[in-house]
Amino acid sequence: MSLLTTQDITMKFGGLTAVNEVSMSIQPGQIHALIGPNGAGKSTLINVISGFYRPTSGKILLNEQEIQGKKSSTLSHLGISRTFQNLRLFKNLTVLDNLLIGLHNEIGNSFVSSMFRTPSHHKAEKQAKEIAEHLLHEVGLWTLRDMQTKSLPYGKQKWLEVARGLISKPKLLLLDEPAAGLNPTESDELEQFVRKLPEQGVTVLLIEHDMRLVMRLAEEITVINFGKKIANGTPQEIQNDATVIEAYLGKGRKHA
Ligand code: ADP
Ligand code: MG
């Protein structure tokens, strides 16, 4: 059974069809890449799956339950989390506070604030801190936890964005160009980190520019172009797909 399936998802902005009847399935425990040229509709699809946009039409199933149109906070509670291509961090807060706030936002008011109002307030807060501290160690931000986020180098801010995506302990993490702007060492570290997510129970949908990274990490790849799915298969199948080479891979392999 697929963890997540989109069925003919379409997202229109006025006269522009950003995502056009895209059907795809993400298997549990998989690293699934979503690639395609700039403007292909990749981020829009993530925005729809994570509840930031309500699709114009189509269905999304999480463990066979329809979830299209649900709010992002509800979806977070159901186990879907995402990072933003353009980081959404609170620049004046510390690294640690960004994670703790992420936990409040992601899990949603109904859940956390009701939890925080109960007598177990302190326990919940302590648990949140423990999760945050564990993640800070994992992504190499522990020693920087009290720094103001805006004073972090860009690469570290990218890591914080990834950590924030994981704070709600998602089943499905949608990563929107996590390696963009990272130097080669940071990109290697990210690769190692993402590779280990499935064994920790996190299935990954990865949008990424860096084709080397995609081909090494992904078990399955879906390619979209002008909002339409043009191919789906293993990295090897995608690399040899004439339509994909024509639309995308042939053009210098630079843009995603
Ligand atoms: P990608 O992530 O593949 O580069 P996007 O999903 O960001 O592509 O964009 C797909 C298309 O949808 C682009 O033409 C973009 O300008 C348009 N688009 C994305 N978001 C919006 C929006 N909120 N309003 C209007 N147009 C949008
Ligand atoms: Mg994008």
Cross-strand partners of 205: 32, 174
| Residue with CA closest to ligand 1 atom 16 | 39
Q: What is the pTM of this model?
A: 0.91
* Any ligand 1 atom below 6 A from CB of 154: no
- Order the strands of the 203-207 sheet from edge to edge: 80-82, 172-176, 203-207, 31-35, 220-225, 228-233
Residue 216 has pLDDT above 90, yes or no: yes
Residue 110 has pLDDT above 80, yes or no: no
Residue 107 has pLDDT above 50, yes or no: no
Percent over 70 (pLDDT), the chain: 89
Burial of 17 by CB count in 10 Å (0-12 exposed, 13-18 middle, 19+ buried)? middle
Residue 97: its pLDDT value, please?
Answer: 92
Segment among 37-41, 92-96, 174-178, 248-252 with least mean pLDDT: 248-252
Q: Which atom of ligand 1 approaches the CA of 45 most closely?
A: 6
Residue 70 has pLDDT above 50, yes or no: yes
Residue 108: its pLDDT value, please?
Answer: 45
3 state SS of 242 = helix
What is the chain's percent helix, strand, coil content, to nearest 5? Answer: 45, 25, 35
Give the containing element (helix H, strand E) for 25: strand 16-26
Percent over 90 (pLDDT), the chain: 79
* Any ligand 1 atom below 6 A from CB of 39: yes
Segment among 20-34, 96-110, 206-220 with least mean pLDDT: 96-110
* Any ligand 1 atom below 6 A from CB of 82: no
* Any ligand 1 atom below 6 A from CB of 40: yes
Residue 111 has pLDDT above 60, yes or no: no
Residue 121 has pLDDT above 70, yes or no: no
Residue 113 has pLDDT above 90, yes or no: no
Residue 169 has pLDDT above 60, yes or no: yes
